[in-house]
Amino acid sequence: MNNENLNSEKFKKDIIIAGVGGQGIVSIASVIGYATLEAKLFFKQSEVHGMSQRGGDVQSHFRIANAPIHSDTIPMGNADLIISVEPMEALRYVNFLNSDGWIITNQNPYNNIPNYPDLNIVYDTINQFPHSIMFDAEAEARKIGTAKAANIVLLGAASSFLGMDYTMLETGIRKLFGRKGDKIVDINIRALARGAEIFRDIKK
Amino acid sequence: MKRLPILGDEAIAQGAIDAGLTAIYAYPGTPSTEITEYVLRSKQAKEAGIIANWCANEKTAMEAAIGVSYTGKRAMACMKHVGLNVAADPFMNSAITGANGGLVVVSADDPSMHSSQNEQDSRYFGKFALMPVLEPHDQQEAYDMMHYGFDISEKYGTPILMRITTRLAHSRAGVTLRETRAQNDMRLPENARQFVLLPSNARHRYDILVRNQDNFIYEAETSGFNKFTDGVDKSMGIIVSGIAYNYVMENYQHNNLPYPILRIGQYPLPVDMIRNLIDSVDKVLVIEEGYPLIEEQLRGLLNNGSKPIHGRLDGTLPRKGELNPVIVAKALNFGEPTLNIVPEFIVGRPPQLCAGCPHIDSYTGLNEAMADYSGGRVMSDIGCYTLGALEPFNSINSCVDMGASITMAKGAADAGLVPAVAVIGDSTFIHSGITGLIDCVTYNSPVTILILDNETVAMTGGQKSLAMGKLENIVLGAGLKPEHLHVIDPRKKFHEQNTELMKKAIAHQGVSVIIARRECIVALDEIKAEREKLAAQTN
């Protein structure tokens, strides 16, 4: 470990990545994971395996710091950021969010249950959080080439919160998707860039 | 030194590879599956010629590992906590035979039952078997403990149990690796009767095990995995085991924990360390992920300790379920944080069968075939198809343990519930269904067994199913008459004929077996690879 981050004052980012099994939660976490290693920071990332992956609600806790991290899971009230691939799933974890925390979420519902709540109420509730942005990540991903990259568009929108250089996320994408070929890497690099751009536009 | 970002499960696997492992055996089960998967994928393991096998069940896995240990080489068996119940017979007796080559059993517990039928604590099994238990608190320690575990296994000639929980198994962190140790050469036991548990020899071996307990306690006092850190505030002392240590320290971010703390990572418990801690404080707080094993031992039956003991048994911590930093904060008297409230309209999103899953067609057919009978007649088993108990199917009425569908259906039929149906997956059938089928065939019980053959172990992510290419022969080999074995293709377009066939089989007053075969929709690549391997073997 030899990095300027370690010499500066204490730094930590606690991130909850949320969605439904099969929506690419683990991919978001893996890209951040590779990027964190590149940035030579400490991290712990807890993920859900097993039964819930079959269309159930899933989440990953991602903790980044410049000092050793204790708990594998984020204490409630401590998360700096929720990245969600599904709007209702973003709200499921708001008890983990700290008072300055951000919600960055896709607006497309994943409706695989008979009692999905009124979407307008879901949207209104998300918008009531002082730091939240919500957009159609699937539409943005589709413009780039595939709706599947919606997860990486969302990661792009969150990229300025992660406390690491943007290029390290690009490196993370190359490492994660490299074996799937240049085309997939390229789509995801552009998805990341588009997400970052959307965040800048909305913040203006 | 190489540093890898790996899961706790993977740290255990890499630790074993680097510690000179010769073979690993397992049956898939959340949260243990990734240990064996890692070895199967590891280039280093392949180059070292390490054997990594999915086995028929945890018992056969455990026995194979004992066989490797017999030859003087290092072996591992991995399972989820309830898998250790299946392996209990060889596990308990391996403590008596002792190990020759290093033998480490990993059992991954699932507190709060994220993916399990119960939240039993494997540390009790270690205590039951009088076997040393290792319980790492983080990924690095899991890696380091594999080296130590194999070493003391050989030093004292004893198997070692490593107990982890879901959160460590499935959490990733950076792990620093050590030099790789070479595998052991073959060296059979010096005493040719070491592994012969005839009563006269078993008594002798048991005597050795009992006398070894002092050595195991000595190791626990000196290995460094039980670690005491003093504190200035002696009003309370903390005894904390495994991953729960992290939840304590999370609440003292600036290393300002005022209380003396003893972190437990190795059993049997270090008696002197515990006595020294308790002597120096006014009361004790015991924090354990799992059952209150340490707390119960401290209290004793008559609660006759001299100092107050707090933990799961007096309500300071919840009696059951997984811990987290906030629960532990409460026990440490921190105020409750103000939290955002999760809106009431957020509804649960239970797991469900995938779109296109063959089980959907099987259950649709079965529901229709059973429509003429009163409900409550379908016993089932453990796998993705257990989701058939939920909406919209409501097809099955039991899920108890691996293989119980067939034997429970037999018992229910014996008691007069005729017809009775069993629904079981292909891999679960191999695991523990075959013996039940033999019971049914022997007594020609009026039971219809529906084997849902998706050609993989789907629930845990698509591991190799040992049923592939063998099911019909196994069923017939168990003695079923060929006219009562049926194979169907569960697809919408065959719905009518499949349903008719099920009706007939169910009406038959004896055993019948229907194999509903269509590959898992999400494991197509894995299944294709296994089919190719199988074809190459048979050619």
**B425-463 confidence digits (pLDDT tens):** 999 999 999 999 999 999 999 999 999 999 999 999 999
pLDDT (0 to 100) of residue A8 = 56
CB pair distance less than 8 Å for B115 and A49: yes
What digits encode the pLDDT tens for the residues B471-528?
999 999 999 999 999 999 999 999 999 999 999 999 999 999 999 999 999 999 999 9
pLDDT of residue A38: 84
In chain A, how long is the greatest CA-to-CA distance? Answer: 52
Please list every residue in chain B whose beta carbon sits closer than 8 Å to the beta carbon of residue A35. Answer: none
Contact B351 A54 (CB under 8 A): yes
User: Using CA atoms, how far apart are residues B84 and B78, in angstroms rounded to an integer?
Assistant: 9
pLDDT at A52: 64
Q: A72 to chain B, minimum CA–CA distance in Å? A: 6
Which chain A residues are within 8 Å of B338, Cβ to Cβ? 77
Nearest to B208 by CA among B221, B220, B195, B219: B195
The CATH number of the domain holding residue A196 is 3.40.920.10
Which residues in A lie closer than 8 A to residue B30 (C-beta atoms)?
49-51
The residue segments making up the domain with residue A36 are 4-108+115-203
Of A42, A49, A88, the CB nearest to B170: A49
Reduced 3-state DSSP string for chain A: CCCHHHHCCCCEEEEEEEEECCCCHHHHHHHHHHHHHHCCCEEEEECCCCHHHCCCEEEEEEEEECCCCCCCCCCCCCEEEEEECCHHHHHHCHHHEEEEEEEEEECCCCCCCCCCCCHHHHHHHHHHCCCEEEECHHHHHHHHCCHHHHHHHHHHHCHHHCCCCHHHHHHHHHHHHHHHCHHHHHHHHHHHHHHHHHHHHHHC
Summarize pLDDT for B360-412 with one digit per residue, the tens.
999 999 999 999 999 999 999 999 999 999 989 999 999 999 999 999 999 99
With cut-offs at 50, 70 and 90, classify the pLDDT of residue B350.
confident
* Statement: residue A4 has pLDDT above 70: no
CB < 8 Å to A102, chain B:
none
| Whole-prediction pTM | 0.95
Q: Do B347 and A116 touch (CB under 8 A)?
A: yes
Alpha carbons within 13 A on the beta-carbon side of B334: 17
Residues of B in contact with A112 (CB under 8 A): 349, 352
Taken in order of first residue, the domains within chain B and their CATH numbers are 3-188+196-222 (3.40.50.970), 227-331 (3.40.50.920), 358-538 (3.40.50.970)
The nearest CA of chain B is from the CA of A89 a distance in Å of 8
ipTM value for the complex: 0.90
pLDDT tens for B36-48 read: 999 999 999 999 9
Q: List C-alpha distances in Å: B516 to A42, B211, B223, B256, B424.
A: 49, 54, 53, 61, 10
Contact B325/A at CB under 8 A:
yes
pLDDT of A2 reads 38
Distance between B175 CA and the closest CA of chain A, angstroms: 11
Report the share of chain B in percent with pLDDT over 90.
94
Query: Contacts of residue A58 in chain B, CB cutoff 8 Å?
Result: none
Contact between residue B140 and residue B8 where contact means Cβ atoms under 8 Å apart = no
**Closest chain A residue by Cα to residue B139:** A44
Measure B337 CA to nearest chain A CA, in Å.
7
A-chain CB neighbours of B351 within 8 Å are 21, 51-56
Contact residues, chain B, for A89 at CB < 8 Å = 349
Q: Looking at the predicted structure, is the pLDDT value of residue B154 above 70? A: yes
Of all residues in chain A, the one with the smallest CA distance to B1 is: A1
Which string of DSSP letters, residue by residue, matches B322-335?
---HHHHHHHTTPP
Q: Report d(CA B157, CA B450) in Å as an integer.
A: 45
Of A33-47, B112-126, B146-160, least confident by mean pLDDT is: A33-47
Measure the CA dihedral A175/A177/A181/A185, to 10°. -90
H or E stretch at B163: strand B160-165
Q: A22-72 pLDDT, tens per residue?
A: 888 989 998 998 899 888 899 999 987 766 677 889 999 999 999 999 999
Measured between CB atoms, which of B172, B350, B384 is closest to A33? B172
pLDDT higher for B82 or A163? B82
Q: In 3D, which of B380, B473, B469, B474 has the Cα closest to residue B428?
A: B380
Q: Are A106 and A134 in contact (CB under 8 A)?
A: yes
What's residue A5's pLDDT? 44
* Interchain pair A52, B33: CB under 8 A: no
From the list A21, A47, A75, the residue facing B326 with the nearest CB is A75
Measured between beta carbons, the chain A residues lying within 8 angstroms of B115 are: 49-52
The reported pLDDT for the residue numbered B253 is: 82
Option in B167, B338, B349 nearest A113 (CB):
B349
- In terms of DSSP bridges, do strands A42-46 and A57-65 run parallel, antiparallel, or are they unpaired? antiparallel
Q: Is B376 exposed, middle or buried (0-12, 13-18, 19+ CB in 10 A)?
A: exposed
pLDDT in tens, A65-106: 999 999 999 999 999 999 999 999 999 999 999 999 999 999
Query: What is the C-alpha R_g of chain B?
Result: 25
- Chain B, 209 to 268: residues with Cβ < 8 Å from chain A are 243, 245-247, 249-250
Question: How large is the average pLDDT for residues B88-115?
Answer: 97
In chain B, the largest separation of any two C-alpha atoms, in whole Å, equals: 78
**pLDDT in the model for residue A54:** 76
Q: What are the pLDDT digits (tens) for B273-296? A: 999 999 999 999 999 999 999 999
Give me the residue label for tokens 């079981």. B424
Query: Rounded CA gap, B354 and B524, in Å?
Result: 13
Question: What pLDDT does A21 receive?
Answer: 86
Chain A nearest-CA distance from B277, in A, is 23
d(CA B381, CA B424): 5
Sign of the four-CA dihedral B353, B356, B359, B365 = positive
What's the confidence (pLDDT) of residue B495? 98
Write the pLDDT tens digit of every residue in B29-38: 999 999 999 9
Alpha carbon distance A114, B284 (integer Å) = 49
Residue range B290-321, pLDDT digits in tens: 999 999 999 988 887 779 999 999 999 999 99
Crossing angle of the two packed helices B33-41 and B8-18, in degrees rounded to 10: 50
Tell me phi and psi for residue B347, to 5 degrees.
Answer: -105, 160
How far apart CA B213 and CA B208 sit, in angstroms, is 9
Average pLDDT, chain B: 96
Q: Which residues of chain B make contact with A36, given a CB cutoff of 8 A?
A: 5
Rounded average pLDDT over B51-74: 98
Provide the sign of the torsion angle of the four alpha carbons A175, A176, A182, A188, taken in this order: negative
Q: Which two tokens stand for residue B55?
A: 């086995």
H or E stretch at B311: none
Q: According to the model, what pLDDT value does residue A1 have?
A: 37
Total tally of structural domains belonging to chain A: 1
**With an 8 Å Cβ cutoff, are B114 and A112 in contact?**
no
Q: What average pLDDT score do residues B174-199 get?
A: 97
- Contact at CB, A34 and B5, closer than 8 angstroms: yes
With tokens 């190791």, the residue in question is B219
Interface of B with A in 404-443 (CB under 8 A): none
